[in-house]
Chain A
Amino acid sequence: MALALRSQAQKSPMPGFRLGMGITLTMLSVIVLLPIGALLAQGISYGPAGVWNTVNTPRVWAALYLSFRLAFFAAVFNLIFGTLLAWVLARYEFPGRRLVDAVVDLPFALPTAVAGIALTALYAPNGVFGSLAKAAGGKIAYTEWGILIALIFVGLPFVTRTVQPVIAEIEREVEEASATLGASRFYTLRRVILPMLLPAALTGFALSLARAVGEYGSVIFIAGNLPMKTEIAPLLIVIKLEEFDYNGAAAIGIAMLLISFSMLLVINLIQIWSRRRIGHV
């Protein structure tokens, strides 16, 4: 690949192509491609039938279903709340707005294990919110609700950060035009603003989803980790590894990669479609 690339770039007077491409491809190979390749190779040597037999057990299906379902719900929540947050931050003036803007990024900066034990302390039956839930006869930590909250936490900033700059770029005249045509403010938001935000919001949704599907650190503390009930797919991989079942771990890893990539592919296609309609951005 590098050879073909070099001949094309040689026309450029800019220096550093060989060095830059050399570093890029070497690092990419050693850090990302070779390990992923090793994972796939393990799957191939195990054989499709082996992979399928590992995945096709109730416990693995339950874990995959749980991970993807809750990741999807968390991403949907973040899509709605994140868009609202972006709108409030981009459009409204209120005291402390810039501070709030900074706080949005906290889930990116806070290590997942820290978030995990903090959320557990909050939502466990003896925690601040957990005891409220208990008083109301419910339970949050060690149930799907707890996992959902952790997944919402880790994916929270994505949609806000992708949508906010797009809101800032909307011309006021477009909103005014809608009003002069007789549309109510709500109609304008629904039919003009939201469709303009959709491609960026979908990008944020996809990032949030991808993050939530693979999330481990913030979830295992609050999940309870009961097989068939609150056991997420990444945890199953860890369990298989601890049992030195490399084939089993690889099989689940490959299944997760395949499902993730096909989901992201679908989202990408929706995005390309909606972007083409809008023209740019």
Chain B
Amino acid sequence: MSDAAFDHTDVVPGKWRPVAEESRTTRIVLIAIALGGLALLVLAPLAVVFAEALAKGAWAAVKSLGSRDARSAIQLTLLVAAISVPVNAVFGIAAAWVITKFDFKGKAFLITLIDLPFSVSPVVAGLALVLLFGTNSLIGGWLVASGFPIIFALPGIVLASIFVTFPFVARELIPVMIEQGRAEEEAALTLGASGWRVFRTVTLPNIKWALLYGVLLCNARAMGEFGAVAVVSGKIRGQTATMPITIEMLYNEYLSVAAFSMAAVLALLALITLALKTALEWRHADQLAATRRH
């Protein structure tokens, strides 16, 4: 087909008008609905976060973030992300490698299982972890007795964060790796490269943008997870309260500026994530096109 169909002909006599598009009025109305809806539903809440944080001036906002509990929450959240994101990246790469480079029975089932956390409520995920590792359980009781508690402690928060972000990296990698096939790796093998070398020099460069994309999404979710962490953390101030949990506690204590200041930090992080993600999409549109359906 020629580019003809994409040409916008100017005003023409008679009833003729471009075939595969809506009238100008319809277009304007639809664009207005889309933009208006987004502004109301998405941008307004975002704006409110910053407005409320700065309600008593920038100094009050900054000062609230300097408190001991706030700093401890920020540190904890960074620590949780620093552990759970790499773990998920390794898992994602391993799962995508197995799924795309080999044929085996039950592959579809394995993919379903990997996607499972998407359809489990974070609260249910937290509950499941509590039931497995809580003091009342066999494993949990033993772990607590040996001085390594999981629930109401860092490991539980990390496990919960990994659970809710579980499919992210794998889902970004699988379509890209399917698209790229196995030929390049096979060629490298025939040239005598070792398995690890093939992965490092052939596979990884091919998937690095999709991997980064998955890691970004995973990081944003890991830092922001609330439901699952609320259940497993015990919400101990200064110890197991992550940033989202601290936001809840501050908000419930009517410390609005403090709550929204911390929310603004997370919102900024979300904006940075989006900016990076968008930059990736613009620069590596071809490779990421395969993944834009999660």
- Do chains A and B make direct contact within the complex (CB under 8 angstroms)? yes
Q: Pick the contact of A104 from B38, B185, B196 — CB < 8 Å?
A: B38
Chain A binding site: helix, strand, loop or mixed by DSSP? helix
* A47-55, A115-123, A134-142, A271-279 - the one binding chain B: A115-123
Best-surrounded residue of B20, B185, B198, B248 (most CB of chain A within 10 A): B20
Known contacts A109-B274, A118-B46, A161-B292; is-contact A31 B166 (Cβ 8 Å)? yes
**Beta-carbon contact of A112 and B227 below 8 Å:** yes
Known contacts A5-B104, A103-B43, A216-B122; is-contact A24 B263 (Cβ 8 Å)? no
**Beta-carbon contact of B263 and A118 below 8 Å:** yes
Q: Pick the contact of A114 from B43, B101, B267 — CB < 8 Å?
A: B267
Binary contact readout B84-113 vs A (1 if CB under 8 angstroms, 0 otherwise): 000100110011011001111110001001
- What is the bound-complex CA distance between A214 and B231, given in angstroms? 14
- What is the bound-complex CA distance between A87 and B129, given in angstroms? 41
**Beta-carbon contact of A8 and B267 below 8 Å:** no
**Beta-carbon contact of A35 and B125 below 8 Å:** yes
**Beta-carbon contact of B121 and A5 below 8 Å:** no
Chain B residues near A121 (CB, 8 Å)? 48, 52, 260
* Smallest Cβ-Cβ distance to A250: which chain B residue: B131
- What is the bound-complex CA distance between A200 and B270, given in angstroms? 27
- What is the bound-complex CA distance between A165 and B117, given in angstroms? 24
Chain B residues near A106 (CB, 8 Å)? 42, 46, 270, 274
Closest CB in chain B relative to A233 CB, distance in Å: 8
- What is the bound-complex CA distance between A269 and B125, given in angstroms? 26
Closest CB in chain A relative to B32 CB, distance in Å: 10
Chain A residues near B87 (CB, 8 Å)? 27
**Beta-carbon contact of B292 and A214 below 8 Å:** no
Best-surrounded residue of A33, A111, A237 (most CB of chain B within 10 A): A111
**Beta-carbon contact of A91 and B21 below 8 Å:** yes
Tell me if B12 counts as interface (CB < 8 A to partner A).
Answer: no
Within 8 A of B (CB), among A200-231: 200, 203, 207, 210-211, 213-217, 221
Chain B residues near A88 (CB, 8 Å)? 30-31, 34
Closest CB in chain A relative to B264 CB, distance in Å: 8
* Smallest Cβ-Cβ distance to A85: which chain B residue: B34
**Beta-carbon contact of B48 and A237 below 8 Å:** no
Tell me if A108 counts as interface (CB < 8 A to partner B).
Answer: yes
**Beta-carbon contact of B102 and A12 below 8 Å:** yes
Chain A residues near B293 (CB, 8 Å)? 161-162, 165, 200, 203
Chain A residues near B122 (CB, 8 Å)? 214, 216-217, 234
Best-surrounded residue of A115, A149, A173 (most CB of chain B within 10 A): A115
Closest CB in chain B relative to A82 CB, distance in Å: 10
- What is the bound-complex CA distance between A135 and B110, given in angstroms? 54
- What is the bound-complex CA distance between A113 and B194, given in angstroms? 47
Tell me if B209 counts as interface (CB < 8 A to partner A).
Answer: no
**Beta-carbon contact of B248 and A128 below 8 Å:** no
- What is the bound-complex CA distance between A261 and B113, given in angstroms? 13
| 8 A-B pairs (CB sep. < 8 Å) | A21-B94, A28-B110, A117-B263, A121-B48, A210-B119, A211-B118, A250-B131, A257-B124
Q: Using A100-B38, A210-B118, A237-B127 as known contacts, list a sample of 7 further A-B pairs with CB atoms less than 8 Å apart, ordered by residue number in A.
A: A24-B94, A27-B87, A35-B131, A38-B128, A92-B31, A102-B275, A175-B20
Q: Which residues from chain A sit less than 8 Å from chain B, CB to CB?
A: 1, 4-5, 8-9, 12-17, 19-24, 27-28, 31-39, 41-42, 81, 84-85, 87-89, 91-92, 94, 98, 100-119, 121-122, 127-129, 149, 152-153, 156, 161-162, 164-165, 171-173, 175-176, 179, 185, 200, 203, 207, 210-211, 213-217, 221, 233-235, 237-238, 241, 246, 249-250, 253, 256-257, 260-261, 264
The 8 closest A-B pairs by CB, nearest first: A214-B121, A111-B224, A15-B195, A217-B226, A35-B128, A216-B227, A38-B132, A23-B94
